[in-house]
A and B are shown apart, each in its own frame.
Chain A
Amino acid sequence: MTEEISSSAAPLKPLVKAGRRLSPIWIIPLIAAFLGLWLGWEYNAKLGETITVSFETAEGITENKTLVMCRSVKVGTVEKVQLAEDLKGVEVTMQMTREATRLLTDDAQIWVVRARYGFSGISGLSTLASGSYIELEPGLLPESRREFVGLEQPPETPKGILGLRIKFHTDEARNISPGSPIFYKGLNAGKIETSTILAEKGEIEFGAFISLEFAPFVRENTKFWNASGIDVQIGADGFELHAGTLESLLLGGINFGLPEGITAEPAVEDGATFELYDNLADTKRFVMSNSLPYLLLFSGSVRGLKEGAPVEFRGVRIGTVNRISFSYYPNDPAHRVPVLVQIDPGLITSLLTESTELAEKFVKDAVQKGLRASLKIGSYITGQLYVDLDFQKDAPTEHVTEIANYRVIPTRDSFNPVELIEETVKNFNKTLGDYGEDGPFRQQLLETKRQLDDTMISIRKTLGDYGEDGPVYQKLTETLSSIRSLASAIERKPNSLIFGKPGVAPPKGTPQP
């Protein structure tokens, strides 16, 4: 067998194909060409118009990435981002889809929905942040525009979308901003749309939109509170912790609802204004819009009583401590501490329609019968106090009086064990001090001893008549001696008077049970 040997001189003859029949293999490139053309045509068909939108800033907008949405449907993509000619803003070119062309009305609104971090339910390596996107809201005028001026803040929910529009007042924004969701029983019920600062009042006003299905839950006495973050309260009941959902922790959120046991008042209309409370506990301070204020004047210290503490009648909560301040009654000759409480008529009377007159009358009658307010310890752990209303036996007759425009419920001296304990300990210390080195008792002892000495001398003199050897004299001498030694012992160790055994050190301030 030989290997191939060919001389470079002899050329090889090219193989000639028989005939020029087009082999069926050419179908393949034809298919490929067809595919390419079809894809290209389809891509072109989907293309819509190109629009330019000017914004102040392109923050969050990325070329070829940021999407343009309309009601959660993709209608375009950002193609190009460049500085405006006058360098005062940016111009964003967006490629819209064909279906989106009819949305490009003259009065369409375009704004950037800035990134808010939320969690998408993805298992795997990590969560992804949903980035900013651009929202387009078409208007009602005919479609014609290709150049737009973008809005810097999202507009209020258009009139077309049904729902309830209300306002909130609060002193500090605390993680709430336009876009923050509003929850009802954990469901997303609406969102904050606008925020304005009211300079004169020093408050912030938020405009909010509640969607139609949740609107009926908003009543005149509905409370709204800030549910973002974790809320820890130490109150008269002890220790409370509230945490919103994980999402509201990050996004900030507002919850609303009716406090327990309260019947709903009529529903509200557009434009109603509500107070936005900082947390859930604050809402309990004002249980109802027409609660009754009463002033209580306490003679002792109100240390341990906090605003928001409950007011109870025989263990049932009927109100809340509203304010503690001398300003309510600064000129009290007895310098009592004024405490303003709110009594909830609905909790006193069990009538379905609470009427304040009935409640007032109840309180008035009760006071005449001996109802008094006093401070009691709510929790030994926290040392917080609460206001207790109860009938005092054999109370001197008193009436509901009025001071500085507030009705006053008379108080009685509270048994404040803490104070009592403190007092006792103080007294105890004082007592021990009395028996100490420089205490007055010792002085007295010395006096007594001196007197005893004098007595002994005079008795001796007296007994001189009875004779020194007589038994009376002996006994007397003995007695005097033992007294003397006792006095000396006490002189050396005053504690023995109390504790009996010499040399036992006094405990430090332990209260005797």
Chain B
Amino acid sequence: MPELREGEKAICPRCVSPLLSNPRNSLHRTAALAFASAILFVVSNCFPFMTLESGFRRSEMVLWQSASGLAEQGYPYLAGAVSVFILVAPALLIGGLLYLLVPLLWSRRLPGAAFLCRWVLAARRWNMMEIFLLGALVSLLKLDKLATLTLGASFWSFIALIICLTAALASIHPRELWARLEMPKV
């Protein structure tokens, strides 16, 4: 495997898939973005996402209530699926990244890193926050006509969260991650 200088990519000759790349400052960048994502994730789940007001009725929705609401309505499996897509998978991603990357900053590796790394990489596929955002935008258009709709703080932090997490994931590559992880256990 050729050693890459920063900024270069290697691709498979047969199927043209990217193999390895070495983006700049990738470790710090990923870790910083992971931290930001963690904070934004907490914020997004603590404050109201959308508020609907009509007359004297007021309904506030926090992010996780989109899943719990489904459970309350008698669809627990659907609620479970939705919570995986917008809560469990992102949480796993962010938590996992931090667990892996932070020690790496000091060239260390915590126990269970390999196991966790597998799960973190698998979770990428199941993280659907940006799709949720699209759904929110569609709902917005419809609900706005119904009553007074206010976008809460969580809405904006959610957007920021998506951006940070996507950037974090883009700045690491699995092979590289594995490569970095492969060192004598401490």
Contacts and interface: CB of A to CB of B under 8 A. Distances in A.
Nearest to A74: B58
A35 B57 contact: no
Nearest to B179: A12
A28 B182 contact: no
B19 A67 contact: no
A11 interface: yes
A14 B36 contact: no
B47 interface: yes
Contact of B36 (A3, A28, A40): A28
Interface residues of B, number: 38
Interface stretch (A117-125, A259-267, A419-427, A456-464): A117-125
Nearest to B30: A25
Contact of B47 (A22, A26, A28, A43): A43
Interface of B is mostly: helix
Interface string A1-33: 101101000011011110000110110110111
A259 to B, nearest CB: 36
A69 B56 contact: yes
Contacts of B183: 11, 14
A116 to B, nearest CB: 10
B54 A120 contact: yes
Interface in A58-83: 64-65, 67, 69, 77
Contacts of A123: 145
B130 interface: no
Nearest to A15: B180
A163 interface: no
B43 to A, nearest CB: 4
Contacts of A23: 25, 28-29, 32
Interface in A132-183: 132-133
Contact of A14 (B32, B33, B180): B180
Interface string A411-442: 00000000000000000000000000000000
A134 to B, nearest CB: 9
Given A6-B1, A36-B42, A130 B29 contact: no
B164 A122 contact: no
A294 to B, nearest CB: 54
B59 interface: yes
A371 to B, nearest CB: 60
Contacts of A243: none
Contacts of A32: 35-37, 39-40, 43, 160, 164
Contacts of B12: 3
B28 A128 contact: no
Contact of A130 (B19, B39, B57): B57
B98 to A, nearest CB: 11
A316 interface: no
Nearest to B24: A23
Contact of B146 (A25, A33, A125, A131): A125
A84 interface: no
B66 interface: no
Contact of B57 (A29, A39, A131): A131
A17 B105 CA distance: 9
B55 A129 contact: yes
B147 A128 contact: yes
A12 B182 contact: yes
A122 B146 CA distance: 7
Contacts of B39: 29, 32-33, 35-36
Interface in B49-73: 54-60
Nearest to A40: B46
Interface in B1-46: 1, 12-13, 19, 25, 27-29, 32-33, 35-37, 39-40, 42-43, 46
A29 B56 contact: no
Given A6-B1, A11-B183, A122-B54, A39 B153 contact: yes
Interface of B: 1, 12-13, 19, 25, 27-29, 32-33, 35-37, 39-40, 42-43, 46-47, 54-60, 107, 145-147, 153, 157, 160, 164, 179-180, 182-183
In the A-B complex, the 5 residue pairs with the closest CB atoms:
A130-B55, A29-B35, A29-B36, A133-B56, A32-B36
Given A12-B179, A33-B36, 9 more contacts: A1-B13, A14-B183, A16-B107, A25-B25, A29-B36, A39-B153, A40-B46, A125-B146, A129-B55
26 contacts: A4-B1, A4-B19, A14-B107, A14-B180, A15-B179, A17-B28, A22-B28, A23-B25, A23-B28, A23-B32, A25-B25, A28-B32, A29-B33, A29-B39, A35-B40, A36-B42, A39-B47, A39-B153, A67-B56, A67-B58, A118-B55, A120-B54, A122-B145, A122-B146, A124-B146, A128-B54
